Amino acid sequence: MFACPITRRPPNMKSNRKESAAADLKRRVLTLECPPGMPLDEVELAQRYGLSRTPLREILQRLAGEGYLTAATNRGASVTSMDLATMRNFFQSAPMIYAAIARLATEQATPSGIVSLKKIQKKFTASVKKHDAGEMSLQNHHFHAQLGEMANSPYLAPSLERLLIDHTRMSHRFYRMSQPPSVTRINQACAQHDAMIAAIERGDPAATVAETIDHWELSRAEMDKYVIPDALPFDDFAHSTNQQV
């Protein structure tokens, strides 16, 4: 008697293209290749990713649900903006969400989760040594997303995912600093990641939370400048004039 041969389904190329397109579009948003508020051209995207309009629109709707894009009726999709109201909510919510994630990630850490976190940190450290701002921003994103996976909270996960989109976009300013004080802060941020991993391995939630808050405070001042930029030369001139009056 001959056994029936096992037939294998060919990979779904259409599905693979969709996932690849979604991942690339997320990357372009996070790296500011597609800046906040930028309208998206469906024809150009369909050609770029080799997709028809229907699966492309499914991707755009999905990314809109995740917070990367904004979809308006009869106006198409655009990259989610970063207006003052959004930034106000971001700065209010970030420390609370990061602290809660850090505690849960420590309490529920598994050996495999810690290994994954260390692998991401290794890539982050390499990007710091290469002074690659874009890669630093992405690996920092992956680091905190991995903490979210380790926390395993269905209630906090959506908030963290949305928070990280704006945090990653703003963090480019922090990582592009090239002056000695800024390089010191970037190296300190890298060391804080290591300290967080060590606290998780010790099973010390309080220490992980403390390191996480310090990590947040280190970058917060630079991210503030995303909303309130440095003064223009005219502003400095006006200020000095007023001082003389």
Here the tokens at position 32 are 């500011």
Only one residue has tokens 């997709």, namely 51
Here the tokens at position 136 are 């630093």
The amino acid that residue 86 corresponds to is T
Compute the distance between CA of residue 117 and CA of residue 94 in angstroms, rounded to an integer. Answer: 20
The amino acid that residue 37 corresponds to is G
What Rg value do the Cα atoms of the chain yield, rounded? 21
The size of the chain, in residues, is 245
Q: Give Cα 59 to chain centroid, integer Å.
A: 19
Neighbours of 236 (CB within 10 A): 11
Q: What is the pLDDT of residues 7-48, one digit of tens each?
A: 444 445 567 889 999 999 999 999 999 999 999 999 999 999
Q: What is the pLDDT of residues 65-90, one digit of tens each?
A: 999 999 877 778 999 998 888 888 99
Mean pLDDT of 148-166: 96
Neighbours of 187 (CB within 10 A): 13
Nearest to 168 by CA among 50, 38, 29: 29
Q: Torsions phi, psi of 22, nearest 5?
A: -65, -45
Mean pLDDT of 226-231: 50
- The answer, as to whether pTM is greater than 0.75, is yes
Neighbours of 8 (CB within 10 A): 6
Cα of first residue to Cα of last residue in the chain, in angstroms, is 104
Q: What is the pLDDT of residues 104-127, one digit of tens each?
A: 999 999 999 999 999 999 999 999
Q: Give Cα 212 to chain centroid, integer Å.
A: 16
Residue 240 confidence (pLDDT): 45
Using CA atoms, how far residue 68 sits from 37, 133, 154, in Å, is 10, 20, 19
Residue 3 confidence (pLDDT): 40
Flag whether pLDDT at 236 surpasses 70: no
Q: Could you give all domains of the chain from N- to C-terminal order, each with its CATH number?
A: 13-79 (1.10.10.10), 84-227 (1.20.120.530)
HSE-up (13 A, CA, CB side) for residue 4: 3
Q: What is the pLDDT of residues 163-206, one digit of tens each?
A: 999 999 988 878 876 667 688 999 999 999 999 999 999 999 99
